[in-house]
Structure 1
């Protein structure tokens, strides 16, 4: 397995993964042209975030997006993991574990990176178990949001 930062050549795969993930996890049918623009925005501007992909035998089988949160308390950046997708045939085989290890190693080796956060749907018990097995915990913060 190879974990690498995604490139423009991964655009279609990343879009397909995002559409599949929204449908599978939340029953949402996203608007493809909007997702295409959103993925392209990240691939063309790393200040928005970075996509990473996992390849097995040259096939991209998983992706995730990291975005940035500035912490004045830590004088550093927290990476948020978002938009995680693993193709169904490759689930429960350590793909996400390897991707998480890659991101964690990046944080460990970079002085101004201070940690990793992510959110999971309250009803996604399988994802929550996976994150707990990797040493993440449900911290004392509760996430709220407002979306236009």
Structure 2
């Protein structure tokens, strides 16, 4: 298995993953043209984020997106992991763990990066266990949001 930064040619897989994830987690049918544009925007402007993929036998089987949060407390950038998806037939094979460890190595190797954050649905207990197993904690913050329309 290869963990690597995604290329624009991976866009179709990433779009497929986002549509599937929204349906699986929230029974939400996303507008595919909007998702296509949203994924393309990341590749056009790396300041928006960076996709990473897990590839095996030439097939993309999982992905995640990192975005950036400036922390004045830490005088550095915190990476947010978003849009995590692993194809169902490849789950329970430590693919997310490998993606996470790849991101963690990037943070450890760059003095301007200070840490990793992610959010998970309150009801996704399985994911919470995975994140805790990797050494993440949920003890400091609770996330609040407001989304337009």
One fold, TM greater than 0.5? yes
**Match for residue 87 of structure 1?**
87
**Match for residue 122 of structure 1?**
122
1:40-98 C-alpha deviation (Å, 9 max, x unpaired): 00011100000000001111000000000000000000000000000001101011110
CA apart distance, 1:139 = 2.7
How far apart, CA to CA, are the structure 2 residues paired with 1:114 and 1:140? Answer: 16
Question: Which runs of 5 or more residues in structure 1 are unaligned?
Answer: none
CA apart distance, 1:130 = 0.6
SS in structure 2 at match of 1:63: strand
SS in structure 2 at match of 1:79: strand
How far apart, CA to CA, are the structure 1 residues paired with 2:24 and 2:55? Answer: 21
- Verify: 1:52 aligned to 2:52, yes or no: yes
**Match for residue 147 of structure 1?**
147
Question: Which runs of 5 or more residues in structure 2 are unaligned?
Answer: none
**Match for residue 34 of structure 1?**
34
CA apart distance, 1:140 = 1.7
SS in structure 1 at match of 2:114: strand
Compute the TM-score of the two structures, normalised by the length of structure 2.
0.98
SS in structure 2 at match of 1:135: coil
Residues matched between the structures, number: 148
CA apart distance, 1:142 = 1.1
Compute the TM-score of the two structures, normalised by the length of structure 1.
0.99
Moved over 4 A (4+): none
How far apart, CA to CA, are the structure 2 residues paired with 1:67 and 1:139? Answer: 22
**Match for residue 76 of structure 1?**
76
